[in-house]
């Protein structure tokens, strides 16, 4: 295809899961962006969306594969030389140690087509079970709790625009005013109840702000559930008709009354009851959870407790009300549906289900018994790298674990112990700089594909520009590497439309059924939310499912399940050596590990360095001053940050943004404790101390 084939395209922002609609255009070599009339952003964009074109010609853009030599330095090489080297070394490692000695780490920003083909490549071309992705660090707790409760996990089981009609919205551990600002225009008419230990920009707009001690989110959720019953706000008719498990859930929560929860969390019992009354007395109400509720060693139970609250009030499946999870990464929804997660096959199928294995194997043309079983979850995979019995080689696509993974220095050491590290990226991320082979790949405006936003709507990503010479798409190099590993080329189509057509067949009949969606319908402007199954020949096409659970939930009996959960302490508590609780999160101008946004001058000028927010009284006790550097230390390591004294923060809590590299990595101190179900790391609470950082003479 000739270069620069389009003057303008309708596409979507490359950042968060709102996937705001944009129009990209080019003139005289310059690319411009403007908002498109798309429901989730309704003509608005955040600062990151407006500056996204700056990524396309960012200094340092990789334009040739890089091969590390014996002297430790990178040398640019051709694609054939790079892939020949990777294939030869992968073959050697597999022969010596077996197929599970090779691992794959994907990302929640990959298109559906890439996520699908990556999972297929791992399980067929590599024959490995060792594949997971950074979405495990994002929304896995909500996915596990939602699947258990409703039989199906979709971030929002209703369109974003429904939120504009709400009277009251509870946001548990979510700060959309910074993480997805265009969402806030849908929340303006509602009274907000915000649960967050910090007074965030979202909390500043709340009618009621509950500030729990970090690590006590589960207790607070149980206290709200208890208050709903105690205040006679439970919808017993709804519970009888549409749910099971209330009695068992109540038995475990009965001793978690608000006054007891106040002693655990610091949230006044009166505020707990007020929050529940606001929800229970509203005509249209929503409970929404975010990373603050999920990123704990108790994350699944915490989300389950909020779902119990929503079910007790009769919200899910009721028009104008509901429960949802605010998925974070751009394709965090689609990225976990199509096979790059350790325990899943395409269509959100369980890899341990014989029927699921048979269906997907049939689409792939292989014996079901040849498919590997479930592998390690994300952190467990990274922790096993280079160890006896662990992977000796790792391929990384769309992720930067040296910055984003917990106990980051330990993860860096694990990566350094590999025999082969291959990173595909468009810039030299912190992880790419540690690689043996770096593969330069396309960016969002240089590729076709689909994404699935937080409301389960499948969207078209469209190409404005051809990639620079020397850059290849992930679908192309995965096919070329698979062929070098002995696979037939036709098993790995490199055209996105062909990959999506295969994905449709693989997802057919699964929980995330895309079989009725195709590029033609998407290009015609149809709003298609999964599940969207293909009907029989001659039948009208399925319209998709924008609103789920209106008549029944996805369990065989059609009922939702309340989960019996009880309060558990966080995996790590403050003590004499580490007297403060650190919690991590995002800031407006940066995104994820910062590999993209730190390269956009306007964004980096707005948030140029790591900082630690701390209450003035706490700062005085620690001997640190506003604007000076401090050391933040946990049992795992120390990071450096600029002090920001913030009077609205709890005195027992400090806040660390996680976007920054080097000695300012917040994840140098974060905990490796994992939720027992989702295997989500406990990013939101770890015990730390703050010390002054002497300035060199």
DSSP 518-583: -HHHHHTT---BSP----STTSPPP---SS-SSS--SSTTS-EE---------SS---SSS-EEEE
**In this model, does residue 565 exceed pLDDT 70?**
yes
pLDDT of residue 3: 43
Q: What is the DSSP letter of 696?
A: P
**In this model, does residue 521 exceed pLDDT 50?**
yes
Give the tokens for residue 488.
């037939």
Nearest of 634, 168, 671, 697 to residue 406 by alpha carbon: 671
**In this model, does residue 5 exceed pLDDT 60?**
no
**In this model, does residue 2 exceed pLDDT 60?**
no
3-class DSSP state for residue 657?
Answer: strand
Q: What is the DSSP letter of 441?
A: B
Q: How confident is the model at residue 138 (pLDDT cuts 50, 70, 90)?
A: confident
Q: How confident is the model at residue 327 (pLDDT cuts 50, 70, 90)?
A: confident
Pick the CATH number of 580-692 from 3.90.1650.10, 2.40.40.20, 3.30.420.40, 3.40.50.300: 2.40.40.20
**In this model, does residue 29 exceed pLDDT 90?**
no
3-class DSSP state for residue 229?
Answer: helix
**In this model, does residue 9 exceed pLDDT 90?**
yes
In contact, 282 and 310? CB cutoff 8 Å: no
Nearest of 677, 639, 563, 567 to residue 215 by alpha carbon: 567
Q: How confident is the model at residue 309 (pLDDT cuts 50, 70, 90)?
A: very high
Q: Please state the rounded mean pLDDT for residues 249-262.
A: 96
Cα 8 from Cα 21, distance rounded (Å): 13
pLDDT of residue 696: 59
pTM: 0.96
Mean pLDDT score across all residues of the chain: 96
Q: Which residues contact 197 (CB under 8 A, 6 or more apart)?
A: 211, 212, 213, 214, 581, 583, 649, 650, 653
The helix (H) or strand (E) run that includes residue 345 is: strand 344-345
pLDDT of residue 695: 67
In contact, 5 and 466? CB cutoff 8 Å: yes
Where does 66-137+331-509 sit in CATH, by number? 3.40.50.740
pLDDT of residue 697: 40
pLDDT of residue 139: 86
Give percent above pLDDT 90 in the chain: 95
Please list the residues that pair with 244 across neighbouring strands. 561
Cα 117 from Cα 205, distance rounded (Å): 43
The helix (H) or strand (E) run that includes residue 146 is: helix 140-150
So what's the architecture of 8-55 in CATH?
A: Single Sheet (2.20)
In contact, 247 and 229? CB cutoff 8 Å: no
3-class DSSP state for residue 508?
Answer: coil
Nearest of 651, 564, 603 to residue 211 by alpha carbon: 651
3-class DSSP state for residue 21?
Answer: strand
Q: Give DSSP secondary structure letters for 370-385.
A: GS------HHHHHHHT
Torsion angles phi and psi, residue 594, rounded to 5: 80, 0
Bridge-based pairing of strands 285-289 and 322-325 is: parallel
Q: Please state the rounded mean pLDDT for residues 363-379.
A: 98
Q: Please state the rounded mean pLDDT for residues 365-374.
A: 98
So what's the architecture of 140-329 in CATH?
A: 3-Layer(aba) Sandwich (3.40)
Q: How confident is the model at residue 6 (pLDDT cuts 50, 70, 90)?
A: low
The residue ranges of every structural domain in the chain are 8-55, 66-137+331-509, 140-329, 580-692
Q: How confident is the model at residue 12 (pLDDT cuts 50, 70, 90)?
A: very high
In contact, 462 and 470? CB cutoff 8 Å: no
Nearest of 290, 431, 349, 332 to residue 133 by alpha carbon: 332
Torsion angles phi and psi, residue 193, rounded to 5: -110, 115
pLDDT in tens, 572-628: 999 999 999 999 999 999 999 999 999 999 999 999 999 999 999 999 999 999 999
Helix, strand, coil percentages for the chain (3-state, nearest 5)? 35, 20, 45
Q: How confident is the model at residue 1 (pLDDT cuts 50, 70, 90)?
A: very low
Q: Please state the rounded mean pLDDT for residues 648-652.
A: 96
């Amino acid at each position: 295809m000739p270069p620069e084939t389009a003057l303008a395209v309708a596409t979507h922002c490359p950042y968060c899961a709102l996937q705001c609609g944009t129009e990209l255009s080019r003139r005289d070599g310059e690319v411009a962006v403007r908002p498109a009339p798309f429901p989730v952003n309704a003509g608005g964009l955040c600062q990151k969306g407006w500056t996204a074109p700056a990524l396309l010609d960012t200094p340092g853009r990789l334009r040739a594969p890089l091969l590390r030599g014996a002297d430790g330095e990178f040398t640019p090489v051709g694609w054939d030389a790079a892939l020949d080297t990777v294939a030869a070394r992968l073959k050697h490692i597999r022969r010596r140690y077996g197929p599970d000695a090779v691992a794959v780490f994907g990302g929640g920003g990959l298109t559906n087509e890439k996520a699908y083909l990556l999972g297929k490549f791992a399980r067929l071309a590599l024959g490995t079970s060792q594949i997971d992705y950074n979405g495990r660090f994002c929304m896995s707790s909500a996915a596990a709790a939602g699947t258990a409760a409703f039989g199906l996990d979709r971030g929002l089981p209703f369109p974003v625009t429904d939120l504009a009609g709400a009277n009251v919205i509870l946001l548990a551990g979510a700060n959309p005013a910074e993480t997805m600002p265009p969402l806030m225009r849908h929340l303006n008419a509602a009274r907000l109840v915000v649960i967050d230990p910090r007074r965030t920009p979202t909390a500043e707009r709340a009618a009621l702000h509950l500030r729990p001690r970090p690590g006590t989110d589960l207790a607070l959720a149980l206290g709200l559930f208890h208050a709903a019953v105690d205040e006679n706000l439970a919808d017993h008719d709804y519970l009888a008709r549409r749910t099971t498990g209330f009695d068992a859930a109540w038995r475990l929560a009965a001793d978690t009354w608000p006054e007891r929860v106040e002693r655990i969390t610091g949230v006044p019992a009166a505020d707990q009851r007020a929050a529940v009354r606001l929800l229970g007395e509203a005509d249209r109400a929503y409970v929404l959870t975010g990373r603050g509720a999920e990123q704990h060693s108790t994350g699944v139970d915490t989300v389950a407790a909020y779902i119990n609250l929503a079910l007790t009030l009769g919200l899910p499946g009721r028009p104008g009300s509901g429960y949802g999870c605010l998925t974070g990464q751009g394709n965090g929804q689609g990225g976990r549906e199509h096979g790059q997660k350790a325990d899943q096959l395409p269509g959100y199928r369980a890899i341990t289900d014989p029927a699921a294995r048979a269906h997907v194997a049939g689409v792939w043309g292989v014996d079901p018994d040849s498919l590997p079983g479930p592998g390690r979850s994300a952190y467990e995979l990274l922790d096993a790298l280079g160890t006896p019995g662990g992977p000796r080689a790792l391929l990384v696509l769309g992720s930067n674990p040296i910055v984003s993974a917990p106990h980051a220095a330990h993860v860096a050491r694990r990566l350094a112990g590999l025999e082969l590290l291959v990173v595909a990226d468009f810039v030299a991320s912190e992880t790419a700089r540690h690689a043996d082979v770096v593969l330069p790949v396309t960016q969002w405006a240089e590729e076709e594909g689909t994404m699935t936003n937080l409301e389960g709507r499948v969207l078209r990503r469209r190409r404005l520009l051809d990639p620079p010479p020397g850059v290849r798409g992930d679908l192309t190099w995965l096919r070329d590497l698979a062929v070098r590993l002995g696979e037939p080329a036709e098993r790995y189509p490199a055209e996105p439309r062909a990959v999506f057509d295969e994905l449709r067949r693989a997802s057919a009949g699964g929980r995330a059924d895309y079989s009725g969606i195709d590029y033609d319908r998407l290009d015609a402007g149809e709003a298609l939310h999964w599940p969207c199954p293909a009907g029989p020949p001659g039948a009208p096409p399925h319209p998709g499912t924008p609103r789920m659970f209106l008549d029944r939930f996805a369990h065989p009996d059609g009922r939702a399940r309340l989960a019996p959960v009880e309060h558990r302490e966080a995996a790590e508590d403050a003590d004499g050596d580490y007297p403060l609780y650190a919690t991590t999160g995002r800031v407006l101008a940066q995104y994820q590990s910062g590999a993209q946004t730190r390269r956009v001058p306007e964004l980096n000028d707005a948030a140029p360095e790591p900082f630690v927010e701390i209450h003035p009284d706490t700062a005085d006790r620690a001997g640190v001053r506003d604007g000076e550097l401090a050391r933040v230390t946990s049992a795992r390591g120390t990071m450096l940050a600029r002090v920001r004294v913030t009077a609205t923060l709890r005195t027992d809590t400090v806040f660390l943004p996680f976007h920054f590299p080097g000695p300012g990595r917040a994840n140098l101190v974060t905990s490796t404790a994992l939720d027992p179900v989702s295997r989500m790391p406990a990013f939101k609470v770890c015990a730390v101390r703050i010390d002054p950082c002497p300035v060199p003479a």
